[in-house]
Structure 1
């Protein structure tokens, strides 16, 4: 989780640029990508915390193997974020700081979770704790790269 915490700190460092937009890089602002990333991590951590580890069952998933394991890269513009993790309403510096604070609180006891705590990904099926960490790194890094492209303008 150390790498993810580092990426979260990097996202935090970009909050000052929350209203920056570059339509050549993305239709979303820097703030949209930060909020989406924070919401995604928060929702997935909550799902893992409320899961029943004894119900976790690994099965091969070709999409997961290709995207997460082999390519280790999420292709841009191919998938629309689920409504649950899409930012709604106005995004401000204050709202991003509050989301960040709430996420840090939610992540505080991640290390105590069972190794088979899991969440159900819409394309990759069930991801246990380790696979979840890998996915969150991949996803957060994907949006961090987009943020950096937005800021290149």
Structure 2
């Protein structure tokens, strides 16, 4: 999870730019992308922690294989964030700072979780701990690249 923590540090460094928008890149502000990334990490980790590892069954999923193992990136503008991970309400440096604290606390014991904790992804199906780590890194990196383009 070192790569995810590095990405979190990158996101954190841009809190002061939360209000910036570049409509040529995205309709979301820097703050929206940070908040969405944090909410995705939080919801995903909580779903894994609340899952029953004995219920996990691996099934081949072409989209998961393609994006998590081959392409190792997500295309822009092709998917809409599920409502559960869309930021709601006002986004401010204070709300983002609180979200960072929550996510970092939530990730503290990630390493000790069973390898078969899992969560149901809307496109990739059930993904276990190892695949979840890949997903979280790719998803966060995707939004980090958008933020960098907004700020250019």
For 2:54, the equivalent position in structure 1 comes to 54
Secondary structure in 2 matching 1:28: coil
For 1:65, the equivalent position in structure 2 comes to 65
Deviation at 1:67, TM superposition (A): 1.5
For 1:106, the equivalent position in structure 2 comes to 106
Deviation at 1:14, TM superposition (A): 0.7
Q: TM-score, normalised by structure 1?
A: 0.98
Task: State the distance in 2 between where 1:105 and 1:68 align.
Answer: 26
Task: State the distance in 1 between where 2:70 and 2:104 align.
Answer: 30
- Structure 1: where are the runs of 5+ without partners? none
- Structure 2: where are the runs of 5+ without partners? none
Displaced runs of 4 or more, over 3 A:
none
Aligned length: 152
Q: Is 1:33 paired with 2:33?
A: yes
* Structural mapping, 1:1-153, within 5 Å: 1-152=1-152
Q: TM-score, normalised by structure 2?
A: 0.99
